[in-house]
Amino acid sequence: MFEKILIANRGEIALRVLRACREMGIHTVAVHSTADADAMHVRLADESVCIGPPNAMDSYLNIPAIIAAAEITGADAVHPGYGFLSENANFANIVNEHGITFIGPSPEHMSLMGDKIAAKATMRSLGVPVTPGTDSPITSDQEAEKAAAEIGYPLLIKASAGGGGRGMKLVHSESELSTALSAARSESRLAFGDDSVYIERFLSRPRHIEVQVLADHYGNVVHLGERDCSLQRRHQKVLEETPSPALNSEQRKHIGETVVRAIKEIGYLGVGTIEFLFENGEFYFIEMNTRLQVEHPVTEMITGIDLVREQIRVANGAPLGYTQEEIEMRGHAIECRVNAENPQTFTPTPGTITDYHAPGGLGVRVDSGLYSGYRVPPNYDSLVAKLVVHGTSRNECLMRLRRALAEFVIGGIDTTIPLHQSLIADSDFVNGAYDIRWLEEFILPKG
C-alpha cells in the first residue's frame, strides 16, 4: 500500500481524503495557500507544505509547486479531490511521469471524457443511450442547418471543451442558428482555447440523474446506484439524493447494467460518474466525470462503501473485493450543500465563524473543515459544509434532515441553511416532483 499521499486540494474534501488515509494507516501531506494556513486539513495532516499565494492559479492549480511538494515530502501518490486539477489529464500525466501514482483514471480516459463530443460518440458506440444530436464537430452553417432539420427546434449548441453548462446556447429557430453558432464558437475559443461545438435536441424539463461506477485494474466494474442532482442553481448543485424518487427498480437496474458494460469495455479505472438527463422515462447520456464528486457521500450512506478508500485501493492495484450482486442499497440519503452565502441573494459571505455546532446522532454525517474561530477566506468556492442524512425510507430521511438542519449552528456568517429548510418544507420537494428547472422557479418569487 502507499505510505504517503499528498492531498492536492483544500476544504472539506481534503479532510475527507485525509480521514480515509488515516484509517488505512497512510501518512498524509497537506498542501495549502497562504490564505489556508489555519485550515483544518492543514492542522490534521501529518505534514504540510505552503504552495503559494491565495489565488488558486498560483497555489492549488500550480503544478510545479505541487510536484515539488510531493518530491520534497516523498509522497508516493497524489489525490486530487474534486475541482482544481482533478480532471486535468496533463497534471495526471506529469504526476505519473514523476513515478508518483495519480489516484484516478488514466490521463487518456480523462482526455477522452474531457472532449464532450468524443465522450458522446464513445458512449453511443457502446450502446449507451445519448441525447439526440451531432456526433462530430460542426464545421459549417450548412452542416448545422442540415443537422438542425433532423434534430428539430429548440436545440442547444454546446462546446466540446465545455461541460457543466459552460458555453451552451439555446436556439429557437433557424433564423437564430448562424449567429448563435458564431457566438458559441468565439466564447468557447476564448474560454477553453477550442472552438469545437456540437448540437443537441433541447430537453425542456428533464431530471439530472447520474450513475456512480467503480472499476479496478482487472476489468471488475460495479455501479453503486444513481444520484438525483436536479436541484441546481446556475449549474451549481444545491441538494442531492439517492435513490432518485423518479426511478423504479427496473429502470435503475437497466441503466446500471448499461453503464457497467460500457465502462468495462473502455477499461476505465477508479471512480467515475456517468451523467444523464432523464425525461419521460428515457435516459440521455450527456457527460462523464472522471473524478470523485462533491455528492459522493449519499452513495456511501446507502451502500456502506467508502469511495475514497476504494479509489486508493484500486489505484494501488488491489482488486474490488465484491461483485455487483453483493452490493446492497439500503434506505435513502440526502445531502445539503451548506454554502457561505446569503440564502436569498447568494452573495458570498466570507468571515469569521464565531460559534460552531454540527448536528449528530444516528444517520447524520457532516463533512466540513469549519471550527469556531476559523476565518472563511474570500478566495475560493463558498461550500463550507455538507450535511448528509440517511434514513430507512425517504420520509424518515426527510424528518431526520429537518431535525439536523435545526440543530446546525454556524455563527458569524450567513449560510444557505435557511434555504434548505424552506426547500425541504415544500410539498413538491416532499413529493419528489421536481426537475432541473424547479429550484430556480422556487427561489424566484422570494429573490
Residues in contact with ligand MV4 by CB under 6 A are 131, 156, 164-165, 200-203, 208, 232, 235, 277, 286-287, 436
163 closest CA partner among 132, 139, 138, 194: 194
Work out how close the CB of 358 gets to ligand MV4 at its nearest, in angstroms, rounded to a whole number: 29
Work out how close the CB of 406 gets to ligand MV4 at its nearest, in angstroms, rounded to a whole number: 28
Query: Nearer Cβ to ligand MV4, position 151 or 370?
Result: 151
Work out how close the CB of 333 gets to ligand MV4 at its nearest, in angstroms, rounded to a whole number: 19
- Residue nearest ligand MV4, Cβ-based: 165
Query: Nearer Cβ to ligand MV4, position 48 or 160?
Result: 160
Query: Nearer Cβ to ligand MV4, position 59 or 131?
Result: 131
Q: Answer yes or no: 291 catalytic.
A: yes
Crossing angle of helices 307-315/11-23, nearest 10°? 70
Query: Nearer Cβ to ligand MV4, position 235 or 254?
Result: 235
User: Would you call the peptide bond into 154 cis, given omega within 30 degrees of 0 as the criterion?
Assistant: yes
Work out how close the CB of 38 gets to ligand MV4 at its nearest, in angstroms, rounded to a whole number: 35
Work out how close the CB of 199 gets to ligand MV4 at its nearest, in angstroms, rounded to a whole number: 9
Three-state SS sequence of the chain: CCCEEEECCCHHHHHHHHHHHHHCCCEEEEEEEHHHCCCHHHHHCCEEEEEECCCHHHCCCCHHHHHHHHHHHCCCEEECCCCCCCCCHHHHHHHHHCCCEECCCCHHHHHHHHCHHHHHHHHHHCCCCECCECCCCCCCHHHHHHHHHHHCCCEEEEECCCECCECCEEECCHHHHHHHHHHHHHHHHHHHCCCCEEEEECCCCCEEEEEEEEECCCCCEEEEEEEEEEEEECCEEEEEEECCCCCCHHHHHHHHHHHHHHHHHHCCCEEEEEEEEEECCEEEEEEEECCCCCCHHHHHHHHCCCHHHHHHHHHCCCCCCCCHHHCCCCCEEEEEEEECECCCCCCECCEECCEEECCCCCCEEEEECCCCCCEECCCCCCEEEEEEEEECCHHHHHHHHHHHHHHCEEECCCCCHHHHHHHHHCHHHHCCCCCCCHHHHHHHHHC
Query: Nearer Cβ to ligand MV4, position 144 or 366?
Result: 144
Give the whole-angstrom CA distance, residue 220 versus residue 214.
8
Query: Nearer Cβ to ligand MV4, position 286 or 384?
Result: 286
Name every residue whose Cβ is closer than 8 Å to that of residue 175 and which is 6 or more positions away in sequence: none
Grid coordinates given for 307 = 469511495
Query: Nearer Cβ to ligand MV4, position 119 or 389?
Result: 119
**At residue 424, what is the residue type?**
I
Query: Nearer Cβ to ligand MV4, position 152 or 418?
Result: 152
**Chain position carrying cell 441553511:** 417
Work out how close the CB of 131 gets to ligand MV4 at its nearest, in angstroms, rounded to a whole number: 5
Work out how close the CB of 418 gets to ligand MV4 at its nearest, in angstroms, rounded to a whole number: 22
358 closest CA partner among 422, 426, 406, 390: 406
Work out how close the CB of 167 gets to ligand MV4 at its nearest, in angstroms, rounded to a whole number: 10
Grid coordinates given for 327 = 452490493
Work out how close the CB of 248 gets to ligand MV4 at its nearest, in angstroms, rounded to a whole number: 21
Catalytic residue among 291, 337, 365, 400: 291
Query: Nearer Cβ to ligand MV4, position 88 or 131?
Result: 131
Residues annotated as catalytic are 291
